[in-house]
Amino acid sequence: METGSAFLTGKTIPVPPSPRGLTNPYKTARYAARRQALKTKAVAAPPRPASSPPAQNSSTSAEQTIADEAKYVLQTYVRPKMVLERGDGVNLWDTEGKQYLDFAAGIAVNSLGHSHKEWLRAVEEQAGQLCHASNLFHTAPQARLAKRLVENTPWADRVFYSNSGTEAVEAVIKFARKYARVQAGEDPYSTESNAATEVVCFSGAFHGRTMGALSLTAKEQYKTPFMPIMPGSVTAKYLDLESARQCIKKGKTAAVIVEPLQGEGGIHMSSQAFLEGLRELCDEAGALLIFDEIQCGLGRTGKLWAHEYFGVQPDMMTLAKPLAGGLPIGAVLLKQKIADVMAPGDHGSTFAGNPLVCAAGEAVLDVLLAPGFLQAVHDNGVALRHGLREKLGSNPHVKEVRGLGLISGIQLDVPAGPVVAAALEAGLIVITAGKGDVVRMVPPLIVTQEDVQKCVDILAEVIPQALAAEMPPVS
């Protein structure tokens, strides 16, 4: 998928003026002064140098935070022993003043980096105007963001909002099941039904942690303690059409869900033939085709949607992570034929699509859709992988460097944890993927040529050292 246009432009992408530009008649002088102060602090202040002391406002020491977390927070995460305090662009600082180059972006979330000027302006403006009103009322940012998402997605007609990726996946399961009932000519509210209910997913997939989405997620260890999973979850082999054919059945399969590019699974690209084949199999079986672009969508690959590379259109698509630039949001884009079966009361969420997150989403789209921005994402990704291949290609533990746009992975034949730890020590944040044997890079989409080069240089230095010791292969 890499093309000849592998060269970096290194240019700064101009951000068009925000279409909002709304003035708030309710703003008080105190609010305006506070906003000005915030702006000065968060936007204009240059980052403190790496050696600078902790920020004045860090009232809790790192040790205390780590101790409190260990004592009071449910231990479902393993975290390094540092406390992040603030960010600016592609950089983060911990409470000790140490600077990090952020090539994780909060797991592919901070699409515009940290404290992006346009994003901050939109969030501040909206927070000072109206933050939440529930879905019992109309609010303008929700309708505006939906309009822009639909207008930029040729096959989509409607948007449903959620608060996260996993909730977007829950929504598509529900939509698909009700659609199947209506297609079967049934009364969807009848307690008796013979309509299709199964959802086919794929090996290596990650769709989330709530019960429905979890059932469609591949890793057994995520599911086993919480059995039984959702009935009707069927797993086929990723990139294997024959396996998909065995699983997709008329009258049984309501939907097929697939990531056009698997992120958590280890940065694995699907193919045009595979997605075209799935489209045909779904059409033959009367099943819906769902693309999960929660990680690979919204500019991550250098196109607005990853599936644009393959020319295949789904019936529904799930979005989340980068859509509001760091605020919690999820969304489903869907075709009218599915929207037609959903009625008021069929699904909902208290917070979803509130004015604050939607205003943030508009600011994100303003930047992503500015001329030249996605091309720069593509080119910076090509340069990153080119640099990594050049410097690490001869390392016996580096099996492959792969990716598309700014989602990249270094496939190792040993665990990637030591590399991630060594990179952190050296001031670079990267994360793992796959079976823990892939170093994953999903930086903010605003990275520059210099950021990419810095990442390459740090990994070129730490990988040989981190992998020098004998390590068992990944099972």
The residues binding ligand PLP (CB under 6 A) are 107, 164-166, 169, 206-208, 259, 263-264, 292, 294-295, 320
78: closest CA among 320, 417, 411? 417
Instruction: State the minimum distance, in angstroms, from the CB of residue 272 to ligand PLP.
Output: 20
Instruction: State the minimum distance, in angstroms, from the CB of residue 213 to ligand PLP.
Output: 6
Q: Which two tokens stand for residue 53?
A: 């002391």
Instruction: State the minimum distance, in angstroms, from the CB of residue 88 to ligand PLP.
Output: 24
Cα separation, 412 vs 247, in Å, equals 32
**Are residues 433 and 266 in contact, defined by beta-carbon separation less than 8 angstroms?**
yes
**Are residues 300 and 407 in contact, defined by beta-carbon separation less than 8 angstroms?**
yes
* CB of 244 or CB of 323, closer to ligand PLP: 323
Q: Which two tokens stand for residue 3?
A: 């093309």
Cα separation, 112 vs 363, in Å, equals 9
Instruction: State the minimum distance, in angstroms, from the CB of residue 428 to ligand PLP.
Output: 21
* CB of 13 or CB of 320, closer to ligand PLP: 320
* CB of 153 or CB of 295, closer to ligand PLP: 295
Q: Which whole-number Å values give the CA distances from 435 to 105, 219, 229, 259, 473, in the listed order? A: 21, 9, 22, 17, 11
| Residue 3, number of CB atoms within 10 A of its CB | 9
* CB of 140 or CB of 229, closer to ligand PLP: 229
* CB of 327 or CB of 423, closer to ligand PLP: 327
* CB of 208 or CB of 418, closer to ligand PLP: 208
* CB of 107 or CB of 460, closer to ligand PLP: 107
Instruction: State the minimum distance, in angstroms, from the CB of residue 402 to ligand PLP.
Output: 17
Residue facing ligand PLP at closest CB distance? 165
Instruction: State the minimum distance, in angstroms, from the CB of residue 205 to ligand PLP.
Output: 8
* CB of 265 or CB of 277, closer to ligand PLP: 265
Cα separation, 194 vs 192, in Å, equals 7
Contacts of 8 (CB under 8 A, 6+ apart): 379, 380, 383, 449, 452
Cα 238–chain centre separation = 20
Instruction: State the minimum distance, in angstroms, from the CB of residue 264 to ligand PLP.
Output: 5
Instruction: State the minimum distance, in angstroms, from the CB of residue 284 to ligand PLP.
Output: 26
Within a 13 Å sphere around the CA of 157, how many CA atoms are in the beta-carbon half? Answer: 7
b (16+ CB within 10 A) / e for 369-406: eeeebbebbbbbbbbbbbbbbebbeeeebbeebbbbbb
